[in-house]
Structures are given as structure tokens and as C-alpha cells.
Chains A and B, each alone.
Chain A
Amino acid sequence: MWQVIGHTWAVDLLQRSLASQRLAHAYLITGPDHIGKTHLALEFAAALNCNGEEVPCHHCTPCRKTVQGTHPDVQVIEPEGARLKIDQIRRLQYDLALSPHEGRRRVCVISQFERATTEAANALLKTLEEPPRHVVLILTASDASLLLPTIVSRCQILPLRSVPTPIIEAALRERIAEEARVQLIAALAGGRVGWALQAIQEPALLEQRQDNARQMLQVLCHGRARRIQQAEMLATHEDVQGMLQTWQLCWRDVILLQHHCEELLANTDLYEELAQIATSSSPEQASTAWQSTRTMLDQLEKNVNARLALEVMFLSWPRVEVGVTDSV
């Protein structure tokens, strides 16, 4: 049984190609962060070497080793630092040329391939062109358009989309009892299964989000001068990107509230504060603010000066008196 939440069509497709023995040499799984790309890849890897009846059985030694990350024929390669480097690909290429050690196939999952250097991508191209016969390569990337077209054209592409919230809720209910938390986490996950599963294990994730939201509420209360101060302070925050994602979701909720779509709210625990923002700002202001978070997320990718970008963004936000206390 595949232990994958959502992505049913992708599982079906892989299952069918396993059953008919018509495997591609290379797969490319695309989709946003935390959506379950690497997890799907590893489930597939387990299925490829599984000794059980219904693959992946999750009971046999190969399955167990694959899931634990100790299967000698299953490798996961991630960027070393910011980039995936050519040396990593070269090392891999030699390993792949050897016959599998104990499984039927050597499987290599290369995650975040959009972070491969051009040299690394070109080196891998060679393997994709003439793959050793026992090898299955699974690349993951946030978007196929970020890869060399020559790489993409040699892979079977599985574009994963956000997992519908009800499916995430159902999966969470199997793991935690408290319904309010189930709904909050599922709503906040915004389709990111991986994030939801992480959130139930690491309460800190939720707390971090609350802190982030509180920062936003504070900015809205302040005038020009203090907003600039806050921009300077937050620019050194360890996860500016995460902070922006929270803010983006908050503004999305504000817009939903302004259009009376309470049932779609993600930050259910912040209902009161968000409702206050919704009533004391115009829909234009809210959508401008939402747009500003999006712009800045794009800019971050291009290594923009975070402090300046934050300043510009904060100054474009409306001023709203929200009933929150200044916290530390």
C-alpha cells in the first residue's frame, strides 16, 4: 500500500507502470515546497525494490531500509549548501554504473534539481541520455520551467498540485484527536502535506507562525518611523521567507473576509484580528498589501536587500488599529 496523502493520480500512474513493467528511466516530480515530492519518490523507490505482495508493502526488509534511508541501492541527493554541484553528480554517476547491491534496481532521488549548477545539470544530461539499465532516477523541482529543457524532455513529468484541504484534514484526524487543531493546521497548510505533518510533530512551527502574524499586526498599528525601525529589525530575522508566507496568507484571509467568505479562512485562530483589519481597510488596500508580499517573495529569490524591500512593503500597507498588545 502506498502511504501517500493525496496525489492519487500520480500514485495510480506509477502503480500502473510498475504493474506493466513499463518504467521510465527518469521521472521528474514538480510542485511547491512541502507538498510531498520526495516522499512520493521514496515510496516509489520502495515499491521498485519491494519483496512483498502488494508493493510497497512497508514490511519487507527492502521497504524498511528504503524508508529508514539505509537501503544501499537507494540514494537521496540534495544540494550541498545553496547549489547542487557537479562533483555530487559525478560521484553519483559512478555509483549508478555499478550493479545494484541487494535490490533489483538502483534508485536515486535528486531533490531540488532547480538548484543544480549548469555544469551539474549538463553532467546529469549524459546519464539521462544513456541511463544504465538497472537505474531509475527521480528528480524533484519546484517547477519544470526552471530546468534545462533538455533535462525535462528526457523525464516523465509528474506535476503535483496542492492537496485539497479535506484530504489533509482526513489524514490529520488519523494522527491527532483535537478537531480544532486538525482544522487549523489543515487550513494553514494550504495544500502542503509535508508542512501539515511537520506541524503536528513540531508545535514550534505553529508558534512561529503566530509570532509572524503578530509582527504584521504590529506593523499595521505603527506610523512611518516605527515601520522603518521594524523593517530594519526584521530584515535580520532567520526566516524572512517564512514570515512573508505567513503575512501573505493573513492578507489572503483579510481579502476573503472582506468578501464574506469566512468558511475559507486559514488563520482561524486569528479570526478577530483579521476581521478588524478587514473592516478598517479597503479591498484595494488589502489586495495591494497581498500583492506586495508576493512581490517581495519574488525579490528574495533574486537576493534583494531585505531591509529596503521590507521598508518599501511596510510603507505600502494601510494603517489599522488592531487590538494587540506589544509583545517582546
Chain B
Amino acid sequence: MTTGGPAVACWIMHVDLDAFFASVEELLNPALRGKPLVVGGRPEGRGVVSSASYAARAYGVRSAMPMAQALRLCPQAIVVPGRHQEYSRHSHAVMDILYEITPAVQQISIDEAFLDVTGCERLWGPPEAIGRLIQRRVREEQGLPISVGIAANRLVAKIACDAGKPQGLVLVPQGEEAAFLAPRPIETLWGVGQVTGRRLRALGIATIGDLAAWDEERAVRTLGERHGRGLWRRAQGLDDSPVQPGSERRSISQEQTFAHDVADRLFLERTMLRMSEAVAARLRRRGWVAQTVRIKLRDPDFVTQTRQETLAQPTDQPEAIYEAARRLLDAHWTAGRPLRLLGVGVDGLLDEAGYQLTLFERDDQRRIRLNQALDEIRDRFGDEAITRAALLRRQHRPEEPDPTEGV
């Protein structure tokens, strides 16, 4: 190697849900399966395609294409408006699966992520087996197709993933990165946009291999010190940018838009309880604890209010999240005020953390055990109803305010 590569072999994985929004729509409405399906804005307006099924892609429809153009290419396409709540619910579920493989997950967008699976062999087997496991779990548990690219670094893993789409799994063996990249169009490389691409093609460079064949100095002279050196290194298949776990905005939240505006306190509390439970379960799956709880209130006229409270101690327990959310509701919601949307979320997430158990509120320990048991049940049966009922039963304590008070 020309420059010092990593001493230990790294295994980086890139995973990308195939035609994500369209796949979710197919899942929600099986009648759409296999049909040319386009998710996006109405053609009458200035809508663009946010996702297209592979059947639609066969006609040349691509993401970010104006909807009108898409319909010219594929007049029989079925257009559906996006349902972002559904997409984010599935996205969270998929990310949870990834976090169960390793905490070293860097979510890049709603449908893609990098994982550093170096050293996971003892737990999960070789990288390829891990890729298959992810594909199987995402398919079986969420009903969604996902592609996987595996390589020594992020750059090659990402290109490998794209190369295998849809539902592909491509592994680039260590040391074969440059050879793998060589035949691909130069625009595939990170850092080659329209302008650079045109310039390079004018210089006779059409593939990554063409650039890799230059000597480094020439690349620097032609393309500038930083840009040139960076591109040249990437053309060799070299990339040492690390997977930064959780460099996505670290927060977990749940929200619900009500079918009708709600001013019933008991109903709001129950909704918060359910959301606290879901948020806490996701925290526990990832092995995180949260320091801050926030609630989101949206009025019928779309005025949105977010309020937060820092907990005395970080937590991953639904009771603590719910109690804080309820205090926030007490403080920032007046009886009778109708809400269109209610949300509960947590921030200030820590992964190498724990929390101090308390001496006098020994319920803590029982609750932790209960929640652990419930996690296992949910993992096995995916049944949320059990937890909700268990939590709701605790609701009717004597010191509770009269639930009819707020109506």
C-alpha cells in the first residue's frame, strides 16, 4: 500500500432500504405490490417524486424528478401522497434492529445507515453473515427489502451497496477496493459533482480507474491540494472517515396527530403514557439513557409548542418519562384547550451510562425487572398491548386529579 492503511482489518457496512417510501406503501396496501408506484406531490402542483417503486423505475422514473415528468415517462403510475409518520415508524424499527447488532450505528438519513461491525464476528459471525441477518430480520420483522454493502471503509461500502440494489448484498474483500471501484463511472466517487465530473471527462477520465492510474502529484496539480489529493486517495479505494455512532440528531420521540382535536385530559394522559412506553422501549433496545424529556403540543391552528424538563437522573424507564411528561402537561396545558397533536420525546441520550438506584423508592427495582420482562415478551411476540394495560392499571391512584376535571 502506498499510504499507511489500518493495521487491523475494518469491516464497515452500509445498509439502505430499497425504494423505502414506496415499499412501505406496498406493505400498507398489498394491492399496490409490483405496480409502478410513485410517492410524492400531485402533478398539478409542482410536486416531485420522493420515492418510486422498482416497477416505476423500470420506466425511468427517479427520485427528485418532477412529478409531471414522471407521469410522462410512466402514465399508468399510481401516485400516492407521502405518509411520513408511517415511514418514520418503520425507520425507527429498522434502526432498532441495527442497534441490536452493534451500538456503532451512524444513521445517515431516514433509510440508510453505516455500521462498524469490526470485531462483531465472535457475536454474530463473519460480516457477510451479519449482512444476511440484517436483511432477514428487516424482511421478516418489518416486511421491507434492504440492500447491504460491506467493505473496509465507508466509501467502498456505500458504493458496494448501491451496486447490489435492490435486495443485494455485496462484499468487497479487503485489498480489492481499488479493483472494485476501477470500472465505475467517475461520478460515482464522493466529491465528484457535475462540475468536477465534466472537467475530469474533458481530461479523458471516465472511470474511477482512470483517475487511480494518475500519479498523486498530477491529481494535486490538476485539481488542487486538498480536493485533488482527496479524490485521488478515494479513487484508490482509501477512506478513513470513521463511523460516528449516533451522529444523527440524538433524540427519540413519538407523536400523534389526532383524528379530532382532543381536550380530554384523561385521553391525553393515556396517549402520553403509551408514547412514553414506546420511547422507553426504544431507549432500552439501544442501551441508552435519556437526560431530558420533552413534550410537543400543537393547537388546531398549528401553533406548536415544545417544552422540556431535565431529569434529576437519566432514565430508560417509562414511568420516569411519563411522570416528567405529565408535569410538563400540567404546567403548559390548561384544561379545555384542544390539541391537534401531542408528542413525547427524550434528548440528551447517553450510551455509556447508567443511573443511580434509590434507597427509598424501591419500586424502581421491581419496575426495571417488569420492563425487562416486557421487553422480552415484545421481542418475541411483538405485542404492545400487554405493556399498555400494565401501565394503565397504575394510573388510578387516589392522589390522581379527577379525570373529568379537564373536560
Residues of B within 8 A of A149 (CB): 335
CA A149 to CA B331, docked complex, whole Å:
11
Contact with B along A117-152 (1 / 0, CB 8 A): 011001000000000000000000000000011100
CB distance from A149 to the nearest CB of B (A): 8
Size category, A interface: under 10
CB distance from B108 to the nearest CB of A (A): 38
Residue of B nearest to A122 (CB): B331
Taking the closest CB of chain B, its distance from the CB of A23, in whole angstroms, is 24
Residue of B nearest to A129 (CB): B399
B327 touches A122 (CB 8 A): yes
CB interface residues, A 50-109, toward B, < 8 Å: none
- CA gap between A127 and B327 in the complex, in Å: 16
Task: Find out whether the CB atom of B331 lies under 8 angstroms from the CB atom of A118.
Answer: yes
User: Is B248's CB within 8 Å of the partner chain A?
Assistant: no
Beta-carbon contacts under 8 Å, B209-249 to A: none
Q: Report B-chain residues with C-beta under 8 Å of the C-beta of A119.
A: 331
Please report the C-alpha to C-alpha distance between residue A148 and residue B331 in the assembled complex, in whole angstroms. Answer: 9
Interface: B401 (CB within 8 A): yes
Chain B residues closer than 8 Å to A148, beta-carbon distance:
330
Residues of B within 8 A of A118 (CB): 331-332
Nearest chain-A residue to B330 (Cβ)? A122
**Closest CB-CB distance, B306 to chain A, in whole Å?**
15
Min CB distance B127 to A, Å, is 51
- List A contacts of B332 (CB < 8 A): 118
Interfacial chain A residues near B335, Cβ < 8 Å? 149
Contact digits for B326-351, partner A, Cβ 8 Å, 1 yes 0 no: 01001110010000000000000000
**Which residues of the other chain, B, contact A150 by a CB distance below 8 angstroms?**
330, 401
What residues of chain B lie closer than 8 Å to A122, measured between beta carbons?
A: 327, 330-331
- In the complex formed, the residue of A with least CB distance to B331 is A118
Which of chain B's residues 373-407 have a Cβ closer than 8 Å to chain A?
A: 401
Expressed in whole angstroms, the minimum distance between the Cβ of A14 and any Cβ of chain B is 29
Among A140-175, those with CB < 8 Å from B are 148-150
B311 CB to closest chain A CB (Å) equals: 14
How near does chain B come to A214, taking the closest CB pair, in angstroms?
43
Whole-angstrom CA separation of A122 from B328 in the bound complex: 10
B334 to chain A, nearest CB (A): 9
B324 to chain A, nearest CB (A): 12
B331: chain A residues at CB < 8 Å are 118-119, 122
A120 → B minimal CB distance (Å): 11
A10 to B153, CA, bound (A): 80
For B327, B330, B335, B401, the residue with the greatest tally of chain A CB atoms inside 10 Å of its CB is B330
The chain A residue sitting closest to B328, CB to CB, is A118
> Which residues from chain A contact B401 at a C-beta distance below 8 Å?
150
Give the complex CA separation of A149 and B405 in angstroms.
11
Q: Which residues of A contact B327 (CB under 8 A)?
A: 122
A181, B185: Cα distance in complex, Å? 97
Q: Which residue of A lies closest to B401 (CB)?
A: A150
Task: Quote the shortest CB–CB distance from A64 to chain B (angstroms).
Answer: 41
Interface membership of chain B positions 139-160, coded 1 if the CB is closer than 8 angstroms to chain A and 0 otherwise: 0000000000000000000000
B134 to chain A, nearest CB (A): 45
Residue of B nearest to A121 (CB): B331
**Least CB distance, A130 to chain B, in whole angstroms:** 11
CA distance A119 to B331 in the complex (A): 8
How many angstroms from the CA of A245 to the CA of B170 in the assembled complex?
79
**How far apart are the CA atoms of A150 and B399 in the complex, in Å?**
12
Nearest B residue to A119 by beta-carbon distance? B331
The answer for the CA separation of A119 and B401 in the assembled complex, in Å, is: 19
The CA of A28 and the CA of B358, in the complex, are separated in Å by 36
Bound-state Cα–Cα, A149 to B401, Å: 11
CA–CA, A118 and B335, complex, Å: 15
A254 to B327, CA, bound (A): 50
A153 to B, closest residue via Cβ: B401
Q: How far is the CB of A26 from chain B (nearest CB, A)?
A: 18
Find the residue from A118, A148, A150 having the highest chain B CB count within 10 A: A118
In the complex, which residues 266-309 of chain A have their Cβ closer than 8 Å to any Cβ of chain B?
none
A122 to B326 Cα, complex, angstroms? 12
B42 to chain A, nearest CB (A): 41
CB distance from A124 to the nearest CB of B (A): 13
B328 to chain A, nearest CB (A): 9
Minimum Cβ distance to chain A for residue B28 (Å): 41
- Chain A minimum-CB-distance residue to B332: A118
User: Nearest-CB distance from B51 to chain A (Å)?
Assistant: 43
Closest A residue by C-beta to B327? A122
Nearest chain B CB to A318's CB is how many angstroms away?
38
Give the Cβ gap from A129 to chain B, nearest Cβ, in Å. Answer: 9
CA distance A148 to B335 in the complex (A): 11
* Cα A258 to Cα B387 with chains together (Å): 72
A119 to B332, CA, bound (A): 11
**Contact flags B307-324 to A (C-beta < 8 A → 1, else 0):** 000000000000000000
A148 vs B332: C-alpha distance in the bound complex, in angstroms?
11
A219 to B335, CA, bound (A): 44
The minimal Cβ–Cβ distance linking B86 to chain A, given in whole angstroms, is: 35
Sample 10 A-B pairs with CB under 8 A, ordered by A number: A118-B331, A118-B332, A119-B331, A122-B327, A122-B330, A122-B331, A148-B330, A149-B335, A150-B330, A150-B401
Interface residues of A (CB under 8 A from B): 118-119, 122, 148-150
Given contacts A118-B331, A122-B330, A150-B401, 7 further A-B contacts (CB under 8 A): A118-B332, A119-B331, A122-B327, A122-B331, A148-B330, A149-B335, A150-B330
Interface pairs A-B: 10 shortest CB-CB: A118-B331, A122-B331, A122-B327, A122-B330, A118-B332, A119-B331, A150-B401, A149-B335, A150-B330, A148-B330
List the interface of chain B (C-beta within 8 A of A): 327, 330-332, 335, 401
